[in-house]
Structure 1
Amino acid sequence: MQINDDPSLKWPEKMKGDPNKCNKNKYCRFHRDHGHDADECYDLKQQIENLIRQGKLRHFVGRDHKDEKLKEKMEESSQPPLGEIRFIIGGTSTRQSSKSKKKYLKVVQNVQLSRQSPRTRAIDKIAISFIDKEAERIHHSHDNAIVFTLLIVDYTTRRVLLDNGSSANILYYPAFQQRRLGRDQLRPVCSPLIGFGGMKVQPIGTITLPVVVGSYPQQVTKEVNFLVVDCSSSYNAIIGRPTLNSWKVITSTYHLLVKFPTEYGIGQAQGDQLAARECYLAMMALDE
């Protein structure tokens, strides 16, 4: 690398994981380890982008076609934005008091002002990456959702939809009944669920159940709060952002794969492409 002597370049630690599973045919001079080459290195690309924005790589600009592209990116990043478009958040699944909302807003503002991440454990510093080989089992091109299998209350539960757009975890009533759980175990819920089109659905109640994701020993076990809903669906359950964040899940829709850190390395759960397509067709039939 031509920038290896640049004092601004921060050299990373060697990649963690089983060295026997790494691709020995590829060597990354940045990580000084096998598994991928420098052209595929995400960490190196991120550092180069940061150095370009800081104007520390100008002496490389103009050497060849690639350097010309770097120059164009640097010029684009220096242009001011045309304006600002803010997003709208609403439709929470549980009712919040005025006091709790103010407390939540104060925490968010403090994070924005400090720009510092909370302290993380050693397992949270494990690098999570995806490689092209992991997508070989998937039929391309596709736009399928990630539908995978979880262990919920010791029941293997298939057709679980991973939904980054959902602010709640959903357990559909037929799947709730198959676990031989009584309605007396449900806690009441006052606020309805609000869908994208504004349609409201009143949950039967809420319940906390143990959920296991991944395969032993690379797995995570957590208590998950589900809203139990009695309506037609081709899915048994939906896992939303609260649980995905608690698992520290990284998703790849291209690979139909999710990965997450555990005390014994990186765990993963593979999406079922056939089940995803079957669920989609079933939902289309329900709509008709």
Structure 2
Amino acid sequence: MEVDEKAPAGGPMIHFGPADNHGVHLPHNDVLVISATAANYTAHYIFIGSCSSMDVQFYKVYQQTEFGDVMLEPMDRSLYGFTGEVVHPGIDPTSPLLGVRAHPGDWNGCFLIMDMSSAYNLILGRPVLNTFQALFLHITLS
């Protein structure tokens, strides 16, 4: 990946090249899954959901963070889960340190805590992706 420092006023121009595909078996339709650290807990199987309007942390993972249930606040409304069931999520209003190995940073927001089963530990949606100005193109996250 290259960053062009002489880009227009909208920000740097980012170029992806063949070297960015190193280790990727093509073609594929895999989802983008990463590992990151949140509240001093390294979570694996984090789904990057660019269509999700919320950032979700599942309760089984939330219990393993340094906060436990101490910071969990009930949410004043119910939501529908991924399979149509009614769920009563909680909210963690803290600002955890969230980062991926090479790009750690402070994220000022909150996770929606959901007590339900999932193949993933967290779902990072548009709020955190926009905060980190993350860009992913098909198979590469920058």
TM-score range, shorter chain: 0.7 to 0.9
Provide closer, same or farther for how the CA distance between residues 195 and 230 of structure 1 changes in structure 2, counting only shifts above 3 A: closer
Equivalent residue letter for 1:235: Y
Superposition CA RMSD, Å: 2.7
Equivalent residue letter for 2:141: V
Alignment gaps of 5+ in structure 1: 1-13, 18-30, 32-42, 44-119, 260-288
Paired residues, number: 139
The normalised TM-score by structure 2 is: 0.82
Picking from 163, 188, 193, the partner of 2:74 is 188
SS at match of 1:138: coil
Structure with the largest fraction of strand: 2
Structure with the largest fraction of helix: 1
Provide closer, same or farther for how the CA distance between residues 231 and 132 of structure 1 changes in structure 2, counting only shifts above 3 A: same
Pairwise CA distance, 1:184: 3.6
Q: Rg bigger for which structure? A: 1
Provide closer, same or farther for how the CA distance between residues 219 and 180 of structure 1 changes in structure 2, counting only shifts above 3 A: closer
Which residue number in structure 2 is paired with residue 234 of structure 1? Answer: 119
Picking from 166, 172, 189, the partner of 2:52 is 166
Picking from 133, 137, 141, the partner of 1:252 is 137
SS at match of 1:128: strand
Alignment gaps of 5+ in structure 2: none
Counting aligned pairs with the same residue, the percent is: 27
The normalised TM-score by structure 1 is: 0.43
Distance (Å, rounded) in 1 between the aligned partners of 2:73 and 2:126: 21
Q: Does the 8 Å contact 1:212/1:222 carry over to 2?
A: yes
Distance (Å, rounded) in 1 between the aligned partners of 2:81 and 2:114: 13
SS at match of 1:175: helix
Provide closer, same or farther for how the CA distance between residues 161 and 211 of structure 1 changes in structure 2, counting only shifts above 3 A: farther
Which residue number in structure 2 is paired with residue 64 of structure 1? Answer: none
Which residue number in structure 2 is paired with residue 220 of structure 1? Answer: 105
Pairwise CA distance, 1:157: 1.5
Pairwise CA distance, 1:197: 6.0
Which residue number in structure 2 is paired with residue 179 of structure 1? Answer: 65
- Residues 1:15 and 2:4 aligned together: yes
Pairwise CA distance, 1:213: 2.4
Distance (Å, rounded) in 2 between the aligned partners of 1:136 and 1:182: 38
Pairwise CA distance, 1:214: 3.6
